[in-house]
Chain A
Amino acid sequence: MIALLFSGILLSILFPLLNRHRARLSYLLLLVYPLLVSLYLIRRVNMDNPIAASLPWVPSLEISLSFRLDGLSLIFSLLISAIGFLILVYAGEYLRGYPLTGRFFSFLTLFMTSMLGLVWADNLITLFVFWELTSITSYLLIGYDHEDQQARKAALQALLITAGGGLALLAGLVLMGQAAGTFEISQINQKGQLIRESNLYPLILLAIFAGAFTKSAQFPFHFWLPGAMAAPTPVSAYLHSATMVKAGIYLLARLYPALAGTEAWQYTLLGVGLITFLAGSLLALPQTDLKKILAYSTVAALGLLVMLLGIGSGLAVKTAVVYLFAHSLYKGGLFLVAGGVDHAVHTRQVDQLGGLGKAMPLTAFGAALCGLSAIGFIPTLGFVAKELVYELILAFPQGALLTALAVLAFTALTAVSGWVFALPFWQKNRQKPLQAHENSSPLWGPPALLGMAGILLAVFIPQTGSSLIGPAVESILSSPQPVTLKLWHGLTPMFVLSLFTILAGALVYTVRIPFQRAIGGLHARLSAIGPQRLFDLGLEGLKKFAVLQTRILQNGYLRIYLITIILTTVALTGINILKSPGGLDLPAWQPPRFYDVVLAGVVLAAVLAVVSASSRLATVAILGLIGFTIALIYLLFGAPDLAMVQFAIETLAVILFILVIYRLPKFARITSRPARMLDILVALSGGALVTLLVLWITSRPFTSHLTPYFVENSLPLAKGRNVVNVILVDFRALDTLGEISVLAIAAIGVFALVELNLDKSLFPSQRALINKVRSMILPTAVRYLMPLLLIFSVFLLLRGHNEVGGGFVGGLVAASALMLYAIAVSPQALLRLLPASPRHLIGLGLLVALASGALGIFQGLPYMTGLWLSDPLPVFGKIGSPVLFDVGVFIAVIGVSLHILIALAEDGES
């Protein structure tokens, strides 16, 4: 079973490819698939026990791809595969010469497979996945003629409604799974009592009804189905009459043992079904397009089926199954007939049709066979079904009104069926005669076969009942249900009613035009407040709302975003600080040391200066001042490593700024004064919050769980005395690897941006500062200074594991030294001097860092395990893979810094 499903999906994926090269062969392969499935199913008719198969999917959530084939699944899947085969045959001819047929057949096969998966699924989630797949393929097939705006609109509407219902369904299924404690449908159905008594039951029922009603086009969601007639006729016949729209019915039948039997179930289904039944049959009357007529009559049939499941007695369920079976056969067939007529004479308007019987005798033959079943004429399956409906309704308490309504609806259905199957062929054409010729066999064959099936199954009705209908009814009711069906019951009230409907229908058939005008006028007036109109208005409103809220929220002003973010954060965090247990108790006041005050004073003054500065160069200088002062703060509070890195970075940052500063725009004061005042207030409130936060945090007791571990294990495990460096290159080396990768990406980004040759004519290239330095002293000094600095940087790198230093700071010092050379001599000279280009240095550094972590793998240890040589080497000291890692960091940092700075320096020269 699972193999069949997967091969179907595979086939639909591969088909467009195959079709491009071997069109005929691939089409034959396509036809084999439903035949295989049908054979598989036919061999399982009259099986004793359901077949089950299962694959684990998400075991932790108890979701599995489990499937189960019982009587109900069997009858559905037989319809799907057998009608599917006929549809493929038909469509091959119908769509000859259309564009994109490869895509079409791929969607159609995917739909067929999804539909099979849907009726075989024994897990709620699996069922849902296939359910959604049918919605999506239906969308794709309705919109097949994607150049037609109407088709696109109809496809979108169908998708919105069915997928919206699908969302509700998902909620319902999950709730149901929770109520039952399992997602397996066969087990849920044994726990019906549990579910019906659960608090969630009303919610479950509502959600599942929403799913079923949208899919099966129940009032008030029925309007997407006539719209879906924009699809090619084979699709209408297959999806929108025989199979997909019955998925909702299938769902209700499948979950019948779990959900049915309550008043909520009964009255909702009865009410909605009855309204849909009546609305569908009456709305079919004013239609003049053959396909629209059939669409509305399908809506009516679906309503009747929902109604029958709502009544829910053994007889009602049996009637539902028979009617469903009959309807799929004759309605699919009638659609194909309508398509055949359209194909031959290029119109589907009843007003223009007539007299085709002579020219198209074989199509007419098929039409007659299907039509007889549609109007319920003996000896067809439709006749059996209709008699059963009447039998059920007559036995109903207070059945008089219901009987009258049913007679009314059936009369309308009989008449409209006549317009489809009889009028085009045997009524005289009042308009100009049509030039017609018989279609080829793939077009008239399938409807004729469907019609014959309807008659054969009716003639052998006892066998049909015991081997197809019976098992299905049994699985719906989940109790043994002997089904005996007879074609002829004698002259019963049911038969009389049935005959009466046919006669009344015939009467309406003959007075078609006045009838259509009257009801058409009424319908036009009602549709102003109809669900279609509400849907359109809702969609419009949604779009308008989206535009409105985008305009407000995504206004494009960074300033407003920031103000919103800052004020929200201040408000929320402030409230929480005040509300926190203990409130705001501030840390004890300690008199600051003298140099603390000096440092803080310097930074505060610098901050004030930077905010009000109007010169770019001054700003850079002040930023540098702030950075160096912060480095001193680090130094004072036991973080010499940070201080060194900050010093080195500030140096490089100054070089960076100097390289580009004169190509940056001048500062301009654009914002108006009141706006600036507001900004100052907002910024101050943000700053005040942070100050408060710092005080609040530091007033709390602080216990770190990580720090003691790192400190205690630094020497024994990682063999390093500088704990900061040990964390970087050993304990959290993987993080560091990520960080140097980020740096590498930033460097590549800078390079790419610089190289990106934008239109430079706007600003005539300005000579970079770098070449203006023409001093004798600097280049001479650099020749001696640079090697010394480089040696110093290696020294920093090597001692980093035990003393202050490390790969980061070493790399930065080395990069500064090299940049000094570039400034003093020239960037080109530096590049000539280097053994490898900065780009290669980045790669080499990353590679070394990666490889150092991999060493442990050869000894079966996890990645990034530190390995150490047992004896220390002279000069280098103790050597281990973390030291090698630090070397990687060192090289990468040099590469990144040089790459960025040289890219900018060279850019200035070009």
Chain B
Amino acid sequence: MTYLLAILIGALFSAGLYMMMRRSLVKILIGLLLLSNAVNLLIFTAGRLVPGRPPLIPAGAELPEAPFADPLPQALILTAIVISFGVAAFAIVLIRQTYQKIGTDDLNELRCTDLPCSMEIEEPAAEKEGQ
């Protein structure tokens, strides 16, 4: 299964990266979601796969029955899943507002919203005095 999961993670990464390289904003968001799933699985697999046994201590015992799955990556991933929801929500709203305000979802057209696209360094004060 390690091989299968490794390929799966690779595929999710490829798809996520590919989507993030698109110029359409929504596709970038989808890429983000794919990547966060991929990273969670990556951490999960890196903690080693143990089929079946969750890290629960049965009643009357002091330790979980070995072999059990590593609880540490699980704790990490659990919060990561919830936070990725928060991030996705924020990103969606950001994209929507950007689209509404600027009227385009083409990233290349968003290059010049903060600064003028021609990046000549000018000294406005100097020009004024030069007159």
Query: Which positions in A face B, CB cutoff 8 Å?
Result: 149, 543, 546-547, 550-551, 556-559, 562-563, 566, 587, 589-590, 592-593, 596-597, 600, 603-604, 607-608, 610-611, 616, 619, 623, 626-627, 630, 633-634, 636-642, 645-646, 649, 652-653, 656-657, 660, 663-665, 667-668, 670-671, 679-680, 682-684, 686-688, 690-692, 694-695, 697-698, 702, 704, 706-707, 710-712, 714-716, 721-724, 727-728, 732, 735-736, 739, 742-743, 746-747, 749-750, 753-754, 756, 758-760, 762-763, 802-804, 808, 812, 893, 896-897, 900, 904
Contacts and interface: CB of A to CB of B under 8 A. Distances in A.
Contact of A660 (B7, B34, B75, B96): B96
Given A721-B58, A722-B56, 9 more contacts: A590-B1, A633-B5, A638-B68, A660-B92, A667-B27, A688-B14, A690-B9, A735-B79, A753-B93
A670 B83 CA distance: 31
Given A634-B44, A690-B13, A739-B79, A600 B7 contact: yes
B4 A597 contact: yes
Interface of B: 1-15, 17-28, 30, 33-34, 37-38, 40-42, 44-59, 62-64, 68-72, 74-75, 77-79, 81-90, 92-97, 99-101, 103, 105-108, 111-112, 117, 119-121, 125-126, 129
Given A550-B119, A660-B93, A638 B53 contact: yes
B62 A679 contact: no
Contact of B12 (A607, A638, A684, A702): A607
Contact of A715 (B57, B79, B111): B57
B108 A808 contact: no
A619 B95 CA distance: 17
Contacts of A600: 4-5, 7-8
Contacts of A723: 55-57, 64, 71
Given A596-B4, A679-B18, A711-B55, A896 B81 contact: no
Contacts of A746: 83, 86-87, 89-90
B77 to A, nearest CB: 6
A587 B6 CA distance: 11
A590 B49 CA distance: 12
A149 B64 contact: no
Contacts of B51: 593, 636-638
Given A610-B34, A649-B81, A671-B23, A638 B14 contact: no
Nearest to B39: A690
Contacts of A803: 56
Contacts of A753: 90, 93-94, 97
Contacts of A695: 2-3, 6
Contact of A638 (B17, B18, B50, B111): B50
Nearest to B68: A638
Contact of B46 (A551, A682, A694): A694
Contact of B96 (A557, A664, A667): A664
Nearest to A668: B24
- Rank and list the top 7 A-B pairs by shortest CB-CB distance, nearest first: A687-B14, A638-B69, A691-B10, A746-B86, A556-B111, A683-B18, A665-B105
A759 to B, nearest CB: 7
29 contacts: A547-B119, A556-B117, A562-B21, A592-B4, A603-B12, A639-B54, A639-B74, A640-B54, A642-B77, A656-B89, A657-B92, A660-B93, A664-B26, A667-B24, A671-B22, A671-B23, A687-B15, A690-B38, A694-B42, A697-B45, A711-B63, A712-B63, A714-B57, A724-B78, A728-B78, A742-B86, A753-B90, A762-B100, A896-B86
Contacts of A645: 78, 81-82
Contacts of A727: 71-72, 75
A637 B37 contact: no
Contacts of A896: 86
A710 B47 CA distance: 15
Contacts of A619: 30
A493 B51 CA distance: 104
A686 B14 contact: yes
Contacts of A716: 62
B70 A704 contact: yes
Contacts of A724: 55, 71, 74-75, 78
Given A639-B54, A727-B75, A607 B4 contact: no
A149 B126 contact: yes
A471 B9 CA distance: 77
A900 B89 contact: yes
A697 B70 contact: no
Contact of B11 (A604, A660, A732, A747): A604
Most buried by A among B34, B47, B78, B121: B78
A750 B94 CA distance: 8
Contacts of A680: 18
Given A637-B50, A639-B44, A653 B88 contact: yes
Contact of B82 (A657, A668, A694, A812): A812
Given A600-B7, A607-B34, A900 B45 contact: no
B69 A637 contact: yes
Contacts of A610: 15, 19, 30, 34
A758 B30 contact: no
B86 A747 contact: yes
A804 B53 CA distance: 12
A566 B122 CA distance: 34
A691 B9 CA distance: 6
Contact of B100 (A589, A749, A758): A758
A213 to B, nearest CB: 30
Contacts of B58: 721
A694 B5 contact: yes
Contacts of B94: 753
B100 A763 contact: yes
Contacts of B42: 690, 694
Nearest to B94: A753
A756 B90 CA distance: 13
A746 B101 CA distance: 21
Contacts of B45: 694, 697-698
Most buried by A among B4, B112, B121: B4
B72 A710 contact: yes
Most buried by B among A664, A723, A900: A723
B113 to A, nearest CB: 10
Given A558-B107, A637-B50, A739-B83, A707 B71 contact: yes
Given A547-B119, A668-B24, A691 B6 contact: yes
